[in-house]
Amino acid sequence: MSKPAVTYLLLTVALLLLLAFSRAPHSHPARLPTRRLAPIHHQPFDPLLSQLEQEAEEQGLLDRQAIQERLDSALAEGDHRDENLGKIGFLEEFFSEQGRLNVTERLTYLFPLLDRYPKDDVVSFRELEIWNQRQAMDRLVYITDRRMKVHDKDGDEEITLREFLSGIPQKNLDITNMERKTVNWWKEQFVNADGDGNGSLNKTEFNHFLHPEDSREPKIERWMLKEKMREMDRDKDGKISLEEFRDRSNGININYPSFDKEPSDHNLSIAEKQFAELDVNQDGYLSAEELKPISIHLWPGELWHATLFTKYLMHAADDDKDGKLTLEEMLNHHHAFYTTVMEESYSDDDEYEDYHPHDELR
Interstrand relation of 200-201 and 324-325 (parallel, antiparallel or unpaired): unpaired
Classified as helix, coil or strand, 344 is strand
Measured CA to CA in angstroms, residue 43 lies from 96, 306, 339 at distances of 24, 8, 10
pLDDT value, residue 2: 52
Given this model, what pLDDT does residue 58 score? 72
Percent over 70 (pLDDT), the chain: 59
**Cβ contact 15:64 at 8 Å:** no
137: Cα separation from own chain's centroid: 10
DSSP string across 222-260:
HHHHHHHHHHH-TT-SSSEEHHHHHHHHTTS--S---SS
Return the CATH number of the domain spanning residue range 102-211+303-337: 1.10.238
**Terminal CA-CA length for the chain:** 17
Which of 158, 209, 216, 203 minimizes the C-alpha distance to 187?
209
How confident is the model at residue 85, as a pLDDT? 44
Round to whole Å and give the CA distance between 141 and 136: 9
Instruction: Provide the whole-model pTM.
Output: 0.69
Question: 218-298: which CATH number, 3.40.1190.20, 3.40.50.620, 3.40.50.300, 1.10.238.10?
Answer: 1.10.238.10
Q: Are residues 299 and 220 in contact, defined by beta-carbon separation less than 8 angstroms?
A: no
Is 97:1 a contact under the CB 8 Å cutoff? yes
pLDDT score, position 32: 32
Q: Which residues of the chain have pLDDT under 70?
A: 1-43, 56-57, 59-101, 167-182, 249-268, 339-362
Q: Assess whether the region 102-211+303-337 and the region 218-298 belong to the same CATH fold.
A: yes
Q: Where are the domains of the chain?
A: 102-211+303-337, 218-298
